[in-house]
Copies of this chain bind each other. A is one copy, B any other.
Amino acid sequence: MREKELIDVIKNIIGSEYIGDDCAYLKDLGVVVTQDSLVEGVHFSLEYMTPKQLGYKSAMVNLSDVYASGSEPKYMTISLSLPKDKDENFVKEFYEGIKSACGDVKVVGGDITGADRVFVSICVIGKTNERNISSRSNAKEGYKVVVSGLHGLSAAGLSLLKKGDYSNNEFVKAHLEPEIQGEFALKVSGMVKEPYGMMDTSDGLMDALSAIANESGVLLEVDFDKISYDKNIEKFENWQNMVLFGGEDYGIVAVVPEEYNVGGTKIGKVKFGLGVDLIFNGEKRHYSKEDVENKVFNHFNY
């Protein structure tokens, strides 16, 4: 069972025109909406994550999707399910984490139930406020590929945590308390007038590039040397894979017309073709949709 295959099963039944982007754009209401869950043992471990960090990150994961749509997050609902051994303090710290992530975003509802493991599901509503809402199917030949945020930090942090290294370095911090790129995303959605593509890198930089390329029916040519990352990551084995495929960084990829000075770092351009061409050490490597879905790590095993 793979997530993307199951989403096709779901689309076949409910036939929704909305499913495709991380947020659904509800034009009649002038809002976008997104929902994502974090399950203990699947998405996080309480062995290395505090309840406050869990609350913070659960909120950020969803806020990042709303920013990447180009809209302004306004309201949040939270479903929290807890085993009996988690007490009032767990709830208190979790919500302190939520509050520290939310800023002006208001928590307006949700529920709290029992469960055998901790389960968090969060829904965020963003207001479009006349902004230009993105879609991963909007990239066009001639556009540029711009990114904001550092790539690979979170995957490197997770690799340390899994080895029992709970140091408070930049990698571990990026995994447990990720920053998101709201300001950059709002600059893009406030400035660009044409249809454009934007996604966060929650499932990795290559995942976002590939999704935009394949849904738009274009080729994204990207220069590895231009990708922004923390120099210290080069000490990790297979660090290039972390930069390209590592998830949970919550950077932003925007694919916009050349003329807009949206900030961020230009890492490539849109060409005729399909998929992603990565220029690495002067050599061009092609990544089809399937290559990226399979996270072809061995491309870097030389």
Contacts and interface: CB of A to CB of B under 8 A. Distances in A.
B29 A113 contact: no
Interface in A101-120: 102, 106-117, 119
Contact of A113 (B18, B43, B81, B95): B43
Interface in A12-36: 13-14, 16, 18-19, 22-24, 26, 28-31, 33-36
A283 interface: no
A286 to B, nearest CB: 29
The bracket for how many chain A residues form the interface is 35 or more
A92 interface: yes
A160 interface: no
Given A35-B78, A37-B81, A75-B24, A19 B108 contact: yes
A261 interface: no
Interface string A67-102: 000000011011101101011100110011011001
Contact of A116 (B10, B41, B109, B127): B41
A43 B115 CA distance: 9
B9 A125 contact: no
Given A18-B107, A81-B119, 18 more contacts: A1-B87, A6-B112, A9-B91, A13-B96, A13-B98, A13-B99, A16-B106, A16-B107, A29-B29, A34-B109, A35-B78, A35-B110, A37-B79, A37-B121, A41-B116, A42-B81, A43-B113, A77-B123
